[in-house]
């Protein structure tokens, strides 16, 4: 961990002052914003909300920060988890919205398929699910995903392939 990270964290934990929080915020928010902006499909408002939620959760958990990584990495992890939670909620909302629409084209069989797809996505390991959502749902390219998650493009492509295969298997077993 960077000594500046450690000093700023310890100062905030000791004082819990507005000034010590502002120092943390000013130092780490630009990098968080870059990630949030990409994860939200370049939506300023959604990125701002994601940043706010990240800081709220981070400040509550700052005492549990183990200093095994940089503070930036820890904060980005929180941001990605919150984004994932928001996305899951959005999927559930969309599926339930779709199910509540009285469309004669939507048979009972089709409705079950939507629920199966949601279950299939939820059953994926986190890495696969994250890549699938970022690529197939949010429309990010493998290059962007590799930068966001700090993985190679090849890893992104491989995990997307594995995620799609796992979903096909899950749905075929249903």
Contact 132, 121 (CB under 8 A): yes
**Where residue 123 falls among pLDDT bands split at 50, 70, 90?**
confident
pLDDT of 119 over the 70 cut: yes
CA pair distance 115, 125, nearest whole angstrom: 18
CA pair distance 139, 40, nearest whole angstrom: 10
- Quote the distance between the C-alpha of residue 101 and its chain's center: 28
pLDDT of 124 over the 90 cut: no
Show the domains of the chain with their CATH numbers: 1-87 (1.10.1740.10), 102-174 (1.10.10.10)
| DSSP designation for 40 | T
Residue 143: CB atoms within 10 A of its CB come to 10
**Where residue 107 falls among pLDDT bands split at 50, 70, 90?**
low
Q: Is this model's pTM higher than 0.85 or not?
A: no
pLDDT of 38 over the 90 cut: no
Nearest CA among 51, 55, 122 for reference residue 83: 51
- Mean pLDDT for the chain? 83
CA pair distance 153, 161, nearest whole angstrom: 12
Mean pLDDT of 115-128: 82
Residue 115: CB atoms within 10 A of its CB come to 13
pLDDT of 62 over the 90 cut: yes
Take residue 142 and report the two structure tokens written for it: 């493998």
pLDDT of 101 over the 50 cut: no
- pLDDT score at 113: 65
pLDDT of 160 over the 90 cut: yes
């Amino acid at each position: 961990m960077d000594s500046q990270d450690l000093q700023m964290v310890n100062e905030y934990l000791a004082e819990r002052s507005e000034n010590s929080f502002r120092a943390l915020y000013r130092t780490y928010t630009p990098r968080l914003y870059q990630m949030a902006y990409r994860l939200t499909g370049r939506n300023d408002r959604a990125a701002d909300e994601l940043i706010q939620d990240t800081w709220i959760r981070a400040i509550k958990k700052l005492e549990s920060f183990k200093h095994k990584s940089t503070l930036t990495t820890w904060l980005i992890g929180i941001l990605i988890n919150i984004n994932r939670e928001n996305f899951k909620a959005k999927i559930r909302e969309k599926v339930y919205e779709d199910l509540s629409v009285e469309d004669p084209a939507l048979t009972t069989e089709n409705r079950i398929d939507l629920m199966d797809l949601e279950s299939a996505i939820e059953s994926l390991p986190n890495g696969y699910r994250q890549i699938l959502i970022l690529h197939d749902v949010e429309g990010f390219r493998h290059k962007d995903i590799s930068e966001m998650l700090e993985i190679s493009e090849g890893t992104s492509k491989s995990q997307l392939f594995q995620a799609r295969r796992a979903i096909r298997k899950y749905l075929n077993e249903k």
